[in-house]
Structure 1
Amino acid sequence: MKYDVVVVGGGPSGATAAEDLARSGHKVALIDRAGRIKPCGGAIPPRLIADFNIPDSQIVAKITTARMISPTQRKVDIPIENGFVGMVDREHFDEFLRVRACEAGAERHTGTYTKITRDRDGTHVHYRDKTTGDAVVLDTKMVIGADGARSNVAKQEIKNGDKVPYVIAYHEIIESPAATETYDPMRCDVIYDGKISPDFYGWVFPHGKSASVGMGSMIKDVDLKEATAALRAASGLTDCKTIRKEGAPIPLKPLDQWDNGRDVVLAGDAAGVVAPSSGEGIYYAMVGGRVAATAAAAKLQSGMIKDLQLARKLFMKEHKSVFKVLGAMQNAYYRSDERRERFVSLCHDIDVQKLTFEAYMNKSLVKARPMAHIKIGIKNVSHLLGLVQPTRV
């Protein structure tokens, strides 16, 4: 049997690509390792829920407040007006997306990708079957590599595909305690503290009956488990039962090239599409899967290699500016505790709060209220230059 497209990787990106292609009438195979749960805070914005038709049954919590915590334990609570941040549990959410792709017509294969080969008969995707251990070969016209950060597909097929910078993220899923001063089931806590993470941040994200507590860092010497233990202690969560522990790389910069100029295109973490500064990835992964499916379908129809470039072009057209701003913010504020203190102080500003969450909910830079943007720019520069003192509360 020859497939139109073989999708390698069954996370949100790969499952979305497989579903879109199957619904458009293509013969699709989805290869997934199964049993792996990515460490993830699990936050999804309303736009994702609408764009990808996510049922309410997948939303395990609806967050209405975000709390920013500085190195000196300054706390800034930001209300999420006219909406909420949806929380999902990746253990169930990813499987829901895979099942939906199969219901749309994609064929699921459980195993580990090994390589791509080519001969006069076409392109062949090799994987090791999880149940039997047998080597299996799938014949295909196109391949979508959605096999995560440090993608083996990207490493083999894409120039510099193995050179994307990344943060190592680690979290522990715990049983949620009763609401306390330090834990609110309707609030996400983001901790900007060099003792927890010297170059990124820590988090406490409620998931209904459970919660994700974790952090990330690019620095190899950081003890992720020790830092997470310290975060749990500071948040009053040490005695909560640990359900599972997970760690994985999170890419921080989109690759310059997403296709091999022949028959492979990347999607999601494999393409590096995780937002700088925030580390948000689910929405961008699913968008990445959708544009990869669009590019693959266009190439299958036209036979033109250049159509593979559509994936990166479509993604960057809509999200390049947001990634640029978030990257600049990370470079400016994550360097030291002094900078992190100023960043949390800046979050007191009402204009900053409103524009930040409008951009998060809608996934675009807000063009309204130009004077608010000017004010924020002036305040931002003033904080970075130390012309103002951090707000004391």
Structure 2
Amino acid sequence: MNQTDFDFVVVGGGPSGATAAHDLVRQGWRVLLLDRQGRTKPCGGAIPPRLIQDFDIPDHLLVAKVRCARMISPTDNKVDIPIDNGFVGMVDRDEFDEYLRDRAAQSGAVRRQAIFDKLEHDDSGQLWVHYTPVTSKEHAALEHAKPIKVSTRMVVGADGARSEVARQAIPNAHKTKYVFAYHEIIESPVGQPGYDAARCDVYYQGEVSPDFYGWVFPHGKTMSVGMGSADKGYSLRSATARLREIAGLTHAPTLRREGAPIPLKPLPQWDNGRDVVVIGDAAGVVAPSSGEGIYYAMDCARRVSKAAHEALKTGNSACLKQGRKSFMKQHGRVFWILGVMQYFWYQNDKRREKFVKICEDRDVQRLTFESYMNKELARKDPMAHVRIFLKDMAHLLGMART
């Protein structure tokens, strides 16, 4: 076998890419991590206890600990769901992502700030990655930078929604759906009536989002206020302004604004059958209905990294498919349920009103958060599931009052 510059080149240094680089280098592989940096993805920043535990996240990265979620209906019905015996951690993505990239580098990954250009197989079948180094000054020296190419045995694409790696190498990569997310980071209105640094507010209102939801999430000294929609003609910025007005946050200073597409359906195929595989947003692993992505991105990275390790170790590229197979076996049912839930309950304000009403039920609250915190469907109390099913049917058939 010809010697290559690297065993793996990971394109993208978000939670998924940084996790993959960290896992692969700890397996003994030579890893190059490419990331352009300088751009923070719009994200509520919630991470469940399962993520903190599985990926050894230090407490100092948690800028807030949420102990209650408030659901707000179109008629302003507020349902508070306490998080019993625990909390949901909140992170700032710029600090969180940088910590993960640095951890990968400390473990031995070679880290480069760069823009990915293209993949190339030469006549001998060798895989090359072309990239252009960038400076930290918002790509100011890009036009003077000299493109570089490195040889590698495998590429891991973690370059987000509408991944360029996926576009160049993965069949049917365009076959996914997106929600366009937008948020504004504002100063926390400490001392303002109604402000709670340990509560997430979720707005299920058509005037905020016609097909998704809006959020107000605490981040310690700051807050993330935003919304999402798959309607390309919908003004996300105007909707966020309405949300801030509804939430009484119009006059809070705005620190920055961010927007990006968020995939809501896993790609049908994550690898090219040979030497390229995608993970995280590039693979479409964001939960429907909730839009949660950090845990799924990192879990996806870990499972695919294990499969990629086996593929290089054994020389059998078919092992790559085990990454997607393992992920979908663990999370596919949850994704399907959340997809159906989003399709049905988010269609109009009448259904949103019923959805929030259902959330008043303690069985729903308990099982929802057990599943969220532990990242698997709660199975401890089968009768609770039966009760929820009967209540849901009563709402669907108009037999329950809203």
Structure 1 and Structure 2 fold alike (TM over 0.5): yes
Post-superposition Cα deviations, 1:20-52, rounded to whole Å, max 9, x if no partner, equal 001111100000011010000000000000000
* 1:173 correspondence with 2:177: no
Which of 301, 325, 333 pairs up with 1:313? 325
Which of 361, 364, 381 pairs up with 2:393? 381
Partner of residue 60, structure 1: 63
Query: Residue type of the partner of 1:285?
Result: A
* 1:115 correspondence with 2:118: yes
Partner of residue 32, structure 1: 35
Partner of residue 254, structure 1: 266
Query: Residue type of the partner of 1:129?
Result: P
Partner of residue 160, structure 1: 172
Partner of residue 210, structure 1: 222
* 1:303 correspondence with 2:306: no
Once residues 350 and 320 of structure 1 are traced to their aligned partners in structure 2, the CA distance between those partners, rounded to angstroms, is 26
240-249 or 291-300, which deviates more: 291-300
163-172 or 114-123, which deviates more: 114-123
311-320 or 62-71, which deviates more: 311-320
Once residues 259 and 179 of structure 1 are traced to their aligned partners in structure 2, the CA distance between those partners, rounded to angstroms, is 51
Structure 1 residue 276, shift from structure 2 partner:
0.4
Partner of residue 140, structure 2: none
- Which structure 2 residues correspond to residues 1-393 of structure 1 after superposition, within 5 A? 2-119=5-122, 120=124, 122-131=126-135, 133-390=145-402
Post-superposition Cα deviations, 1:40-69, rounded to whole Å, max 9, x if no partner, equal 000000000000000001000000000000
197-206 or 161-170, which deviates more: 161-170
Once residues 376 and 288 of structure 1 are traced to their aligned partners in structure 2, the CA distance between those partners, rounded to angstroms, is 30
Please tell me whether the aligned partners of residues 276 and 330 of structure 1 are also in contact (alpha carbons under 8 angstroms): yes
315-324 or 34-43, which deviates more: 315-324
Post-superposition Cα deviations, 1:251-300, rounded to whole Å, max 9, x if no partner, equal 00001110000101110000000000000000000011111211111100
Structure 1 residue 163, shift from structure 2 partner:
2.5
Q: Counterpart of 1:249 in 2: which secondary structure?
A: strand
Query: Residue type of the partner of 1:227?
Result: A
Once residues 354 and 179 of structure 1 are traced to their aligned partners in structure 2, the CA distance between those partners, rounded to angstroms, is 31
Partner of residue 141, structure 2: none
TM-score by length of 2: 0.96
Please tell me whether the aligned partners of residues 12 and 94 of structure 1 are also in contact (alpha carbons under 8 angstroms): yes
Once residues 7 and 290 of structure 2 are traced to their aligned partners in structure 1, the CA distance between those partners, rounded to angstroms, is 36
Structure 1 residue 180, shift from structure 2 partner:
3.8
Please tell me whether the aligned partners of residues 179 and 185 of structure 1 are also in contact (alpha carbons under 8 angstroms): no
Please tell me whether the aligned partners of residues 182 and 235 of structure 1 are also in contact (alpha carbons under 8 angstroms): no
* CA gap 1:98/1:342 in 2 versus in 1, 3 angstroms: same
Query: Residue type of the partner of 2:281?
Result: D
Once residues 139 and 342 of structure 1 are traced to their aligned partners in structure 2, the CA distance between those partners, rounded to angstroms, is 56
* CA gap 1:274/1:183 in 2 versus in 1, 3 angstroms: same
Query: Residue type of the partner of 1:130?
Result: V
TM-score by length of 1: 0.98
Structure 1 residue 385, shift from structure 2 partner:
2.4
Q: Counterpart of 1:93 in 2: which secondary structure?
A: helix
Query: Residue type of the partner of 2:127?
Result: T
Please tell me whether the aligned partners of residues 4 and 141 of structure 1 are also in contact (alpha carbons under 8 angstroms): yes
Q: Counterpart of 1:364 in 2: which secondary structure?
A: coil
Once residues 61 and 355 of structure 2 are traced to their aligned partners in structure 1, the CA distance between those partners, rounded to angstroms, is 33
Q: Which runs of 5+ in 2 are unaligned?
A: 136-143
Please tell me whether the aligned partners of residues 296 and 308 of structure 1 are also in contact (alpha carbons under 8 angstroms): yes
Once residues 40 and 205 of structure 1 are traced to their aligned partners in structure 2, the CA distance between those partners, rounded to angstroms, is 10
Q: Counterpart of 2:347 in 1: which secondary structure?
A: coil
| Equivalent pairs, count | 390
Once residues 217 and 310 of structure 1 are traced to their aligned partners in structure 2, the CA distance between those partners, rounded to angstroms, is 32
Structure 1 residue 141, shift from structure 2 partner:
0.1
